[in-house]
Structure 1
Amino acid sequence: MANFAVAEKAPARSTASLKGALLILLIAAALVAPSFVYPLFLMKILCFVLFASALNLVLGYAGLLSFGHAAFFGGAAYIAAHSAKVWGFPFELAILSGVVFSIVLGFLFGALAIRRHGIYFAMITLALAQMVYFLAVQMPFTGGEDGIQAVPRGTFLGLVDLGDTTSMYYVVLGFTAFGLFVIWRTVRSPFGHALAAIRENEQRATSLGLNVERYKLIAYTLSAALSGLAGSLKAIAFQLASLADVTWHMSGEVILMTLLGGMGTLIGPVVGATFVVGLEHYLSTSGLPITFIIGLVFIACVMVARRGLYGELRARLASRAAASPKA
């Protein structure tokens, strides 16, 4: 009996050790990274890490495949940029305005979409997002194909000049860490366990008395809010909100990040977003077809590591730890 107990605890200890080591490594790397890498590039990684993690909340934990999250990301970017440049909002209020917009839009979209399942849910979210893209093209305040440029960064809490790129990086890092903490607390709460139950067997969850639609709507709205936070940060950091942020390609790209890293895990989207953004950056001057290469990488990942890069590593370490006591 003792051997069986050790065998059951070993995978859990191995996974916990892996998570702890990766977390410490990520924190240390994030703090010292501006000394070695251009901060603007790092801020792009952070924004997409938060965006992919927000999508993972509904895709990996609630089982909802949304093809419309670019509406929240890009829509919030436009609102935050307009608030800062035209209305003169300080940094904090500009970010808040983008997040509030995403919350309202996420609630409305979710209320319509969660009544359908599977591919029908995905198509509804895509159609709704395309409506937002059409508005971004037509509305006069968005600047059309030029977007909103020269967005002022302002100051953080009236103390930190965000015109300094390194200072802006650490502010973005702080907001990203806050967003990831919210996701971590959510998935480890009773609410998160209820989402997992709905993902695994929605009919059984309903029979147990869970209000499935309410749980889905809350998760979708929270995911939209965090996506809006990522989009708002990107607009202020890069001083630009453009149509590229709200296209369906953006929704597909962030899904790719989540799948490559490993959906249903906290660290997977971090790995996937860092990998994709880094690959795009370093291939941008090579003259090679970036989309084609990323597609090949995705195919290879699906064939070799179906759980994603981090998900596959975690599963293999857990299986080795489970087998070692028997040896």
Structure 2
Amino acid sequence: MAETATDPVPSAASPASSGMPMLHKAIFAILLAALLVLPFLVYPVFAMKAMCFALFAAAFNLLLGFGGLLSFGHAAYFGGASYIAAHAAKVWGFTPELAVLTGTAAAALLGLAIGALAIRRQGIYFAMVTLAFAQMVYFFALQAEFTGGEDGIQSVPRGDLFGIVPMGSNLALYFFVLAVTFGGILCLYRIVHSPFGQVLKAIRENEPRAISLGYRVNRYKLAVFTLSATFAGLAGATKSQVFQLASLTDVHWSMSGEVVLMTLLGGMGTIFGPLVGATVIVALQNYLASFGAWVTIIQGVIFVLGVLLFREGIVGVLARWTGRRL
């Protein structure tokens, strides 16, 4: 269908998809440089945890921030992939990259199946349907024999990358996690700035108009739902290798709440907001661990203050102050 001058969706040759802006290139370069030296400055496992959750938040932001679809059940894909990857590594003897790919593929299939049903509803009904399916996955993980029940899958072997490079040391594993996370975020960036991403924004802003222009909205919704679930699964599968563990915490509804918190705190609908939000939350959990159960309350207070003071999120406020799209 030919696009007119009033079409809200830019063509493939439009500036929105003509290349990465210099500011974003500079931010990605600085981020990569910082991550390359980070394991020599902080505990590598903490840094790897932050990267896994940053990818998880970025995947969720693709669905909510750019697709306009609020899911309360993204822990199903994060935790489901974690279980499958852990089982593949421990029982099937898969190498780290194959275990992660297996978990990611399982999350993609689960996202496709759930998404095909969930997109039939809108608004709060859509959100509650995703939560219901996530609870089904949680109880499956609790009851299934291969998941280990309440104990989860423990002592997951890290193995050798491609059967050659040992992943036993935290430092070696860190660079594997860095490659996975950074590559995943770059893929998400490309998706957002592609013609497909522009259609998603059009559907988010004015779905009836997108339909009137001839776009098959449900196909786009299913595609973005599946993509978001896939990258969430990639984060969860990678996390299982980092902690050598897949547990019920990964599929619990509170994990879905955490990723919503990370996305909103950092800046929904921005490229770098979820990364900032995830890092802040993981850092709080790490450095406030001595407060025990009070950590959740402290996080809640910080979130409320953040929303009241920075309605657009941390990166959203910076973007408004600088006049730049972040």
TM-score when normalising by structure 2? 0.91
What's the Cα RMSD here?
Answer: 1.6
How far is 1:313 from its partner?
Answer: 0.8
Write the letter of the residue equivalent to 2:305: A
Query: Which residue, out of 144, 154, 157, partners 1:149?
Result: 154
Spell out, residue by residue over 1:239-271, the C-alpha distance to the aligned partner (whole angstroms, 9 max, x if none).
Answer: 000000000000000010000000111100000
Is 2:213 the partner of 1:208? Answer: yes
Q: CA deviation at 1:75?
A: 0.4
Task: Provide the residue aligned with 2:243 in structure 1.
Answer: 238
Separation in 1, partners of 2:109, 2:164: 31
The equivalent of 1:171 in structure 2 is 176
Pair 1:223-2:241 in alignment: no
Q: Would you tell me which structure has more helix in proportion to its own residues?
A: 1
1:64 lines up with 2:69 in the alignment: yes
Paired position in structure 1 for 2:32: 27
Aligned 8 A contact 1:18 1:314 in 2: no
Q: Say yes or no: does 1:123 pair with 2:128.
A: yes
Q: 1:66 touches 1:122 (CA, 8 Å); kept in 2?
A: yes
Q: Per-residue CA shift, 1:304-325, capped at 9, x if unaligned?
A: 1111001111111118xxxxxx
Change (3 A) 1:89 1:115: same
In 2, Cα distance between equivalents of 1:96 and 1:271 = 26
Gaps of 5+ in 1: 1-15, 320-327
1:113 is the counterpart of 2:118: yes
Separation of aligned partners in 1, 2:170 and 2:208: 50
Give the 3-state SS of the residue equivalent to 2:316 in structure 1: helix
Q: CA deviation at 1:21?
A: 4.5
Q: Which amino acid aligns with 2:32?
A: I
Counterpart CA distance in 1 for 2:22 and 2:93 is 47
CA distance in 2, matches of 1:22, 1:277: 21
Mapped partners of 2:89, 2:274: distance in 1: 29
Q: Deviations over 1:222-251 (max 9, x none)?
A: 111111110000001110000000000000
Shift of 1:288: 7.0
The answer on 1:197 being equivalent to 2:205 is: no
Q: Give 1:18 shift.
A: 5.4
Following TM superposition, by how much is the alpha carbon of 1:20 offset from its aligned partner in structure 2, in angstroms?
Answer: 4.5
Cα deviation code 1:42-96 (max 9, x no counterpart):
1100100000000000000000000111000000000010111011112122111
Aligned to 1:75: 80
Partner Cα separation in structure 1 for residue 104 and residue 293 of structure 2: 36
Equivalent in the alignment of 1:294: 299
List per-residue Cα deviations over 1:123-179 (Å, max 9, x = no partner).
000000000000000001111111000000011122221001101000000000111
- Measure the CA separation in 2 of the matches of 1:91 and 1:299: 39
- Among 46, 53, 57, the alignment partner of 2:58 is 53
SS of the aligned residue for 1:270 comes to helix
Distance 1:168 1:297 in 2: 32
2:99 to 79, 82, 94: 94
Change (3 A) 1:225 1:287: closer
Which runs of at least 4 in structure 1 moved beyond 6 Å after TM superposition?
A: none
Count of residue pairs brought into register by the alignment: 306
1:200-222 CA distance string (max 9 Å, x none):
00011000000000001001101
* Structure 2 CA distance for aligned equivalents of residues 299 and 47 of structure 1: 24
Uncovered stretches (5+) of structure 2, i.e. residues with no partner: 1-20
Question: Could you tell me how far apart the structure 2 residues matched to 1:318 and 1:214 are?
Answer: 34
d(CA) in 2 for partners of 1:185, 1:18 = 15
Map Cα deviations across residues 278-301 of structure 1 (whole Å, 9 max, x no partner): 011000024571111111111111
> Structure 1 stretch 189-198 or stretch 298-307: which is displaced more?
298-307
User: What is the percentage of aligned positions where both structures have the same residue?
Assistant: 58
The code of the aligned residue for 2:28 comes to L
The Cα of 1:24 is off from its aligned counterpart by 3.1
SS of residue in 1 equivalent to 2:285: helix
| 2:240 match: secondary structure | helix
Q: Secondary structure at the match of 1:23?
A: helix
- Paired with 1:314 and 1:210, the residues of 2 have a C-alpha distance of 31
2:46 to 25, 41, 47: 41
